[in-house]
Amino acid sequence: MGAESIPPPTNPTLPPPLDTPTNPFREELATRQRPDPCTVVIFGASGDLTSRKLIPALYNLASEGELPPTLKVVGFARREKTHESFRSELEEMNKKVSRSGHNAQLWAAFSQGVYYHQSEFEDADGYARLAERLRKLDAEGAGGNRLFYLASAPDQFVPILQQLQKAGLNQPTGPGKWSRVVVEKPFGTDLATAQRLNGVVNEVFDESDTYRIDHYLGKETAQNIMVLRFANSIFESMWNNRYIDHVQITCAENLGMEGGRGGYYDKAGALRDMVQNHLLQLLSLVAMEPPTDLTADGVRDEKVKVLRSLRSFADAADVGRNVVRAQYSAGTVDGKPAVGYRKEDRVNPDSQTEAYVALRVMVDNWRWEGVPFYIRVGKQLPKKSTEISIHFKKPPSVLFNKLAGGENANILSIRIQPDEGIALRMYSKMPGASMRLEQVKMDFHYSSSFGKASPEAYERLLLDAMAGDATLFARRDEVENAWKYIDQIHRAWHASENPPPICEYPAGTWGPQESDELLERDGRAWRRI
């Protein structure tokens, strides 16, 4: 297949590429170069991540003219499949989940660059055959650049990396070419395993060619946190302990262990599955200092400083005072009955794994001294929502705070998902003769303000990895400092003589009473989502 085998989209309803005359500001506003031609090799290609997220993301990028026309995709997995059957399976899923809809003509062109490669992950011959396939694709226009995406089970990461090295696939094919690896979470299960995995990765790929993915950082609103703070003086001037009382980060899920997820989740738990990566990443974006520049290391240097500033816990009792863990009992979610966590499929009936965790986190630096960050994440809560809320201090109470309706402070809420956007709650006088205050909301929605849906997180992250921009990917020291903080809590729960108790909450409620008490002791309350 030659360089012209994937034509540009011809459906007139699809948006034109951003570098066409319809957008004369593209060159002025661009922050990243268009990716070079390359081949994306996905390990674990028969899994759900590939069909639901990765291939639809690449298809949507193709529909918007963001991909090089000679992009190739090779799915590497154990099951027996042909190119045609693999493409057909991907097409059926793309019809269901693609953000931009499904265009048969575009899919036909895009899918001609998608191939299937069957092999065991530890089979050296399979990698030799892969190398030969990649050389043929290079000759057909792929350009000699390779992006290896580890979407397999975590216990296969090391064998895959070692086999790539033995086959010489970790090395660039020539001057000006590149070979990179994208590693999915979980990146280790504690500090020791993360360090070992980092060691293997960096033996095979240079750190500058390693992309540890966290899809939360690909969401538009997460990316917009820095713009909100550093491009708007009204916020940055108040983004400190003089004006902010506290910060809340909530990640609520209204699902349990559907889809056989209980086997994995019962070994991981909410703390390691969500807090260590997603939520500490969001905290670091909110708390970081202004970077010296917008390069990948410029941004990540400041995020690491935040993680290094997180206050350590003195002992298990200190963990108990600042962290709440819980499991859900039987209840009702969205009008449907839900079983308790220990009754879920593939969950140990005597499980000590948390399905909910709430933390009081202190950032011990000049900007945030005395400002608590409250984090909560849980399963089988009333709704699905991820939100950051900045709670400003109340103004002096000599005037309006003594009036009816004037008890609360201003809140800036940043909605990560769903309905991405930003809202600011403030006070206004209600119409009428009396001086009565009412909260009003200034609300910004991505979809309505920009006239189109936000790109899926994987679209941005795949494009950045192909373009060599690591800003939204975790660096080695980020991962290890996050694990260092989380390990303290995990040891207190599982390796101390008097571990803090596991609390309980009915499915369909907002968590255990102990979580509310965590804030009540500080004279605060969880924001109602």
CA distances from 355 to 127, 277, 334, 510 (A): 39, 16, 18, 12
Give yes or no for a cis peptide into 501 (omega within 30° of 0). Answer: no
| DSSP letter, residue 260 | G
- What residues are paired with 149 via a beta bridge? 42, 182
**What is the spatial distance between Cα 223 and Cα 285, in angstroms, rounded to a whole number?**
9
Tokens matching residue 270: 């909410």
**What is the spatial distance between Cα 434 and Cα 421, in angstroms, rounded to a whole number?**
34
Residues 55, 56, 62, 68, Cα dihedral to 10°: -20
Q: Which candidate, 381, 363, 379, places its Cα nearest to that of 371?
A: 363
Are 56 and 456 in contact by the 8 Å Cβ rule? The answer is yes
Please tell me which residue in 117, 278, 391, 490 is annotated as part of the active site. Answer: 278
> DSSP of 394-410, one letter per residue?
PPPTTSGGGSTT--S--
- Residue carrying structure tokens 């989380």: 486
Q: 179-183 and 210-212: which strand pairing? A: parallel
Catalytic residue check, 278: yes
Residues serving a catalytic function are 278
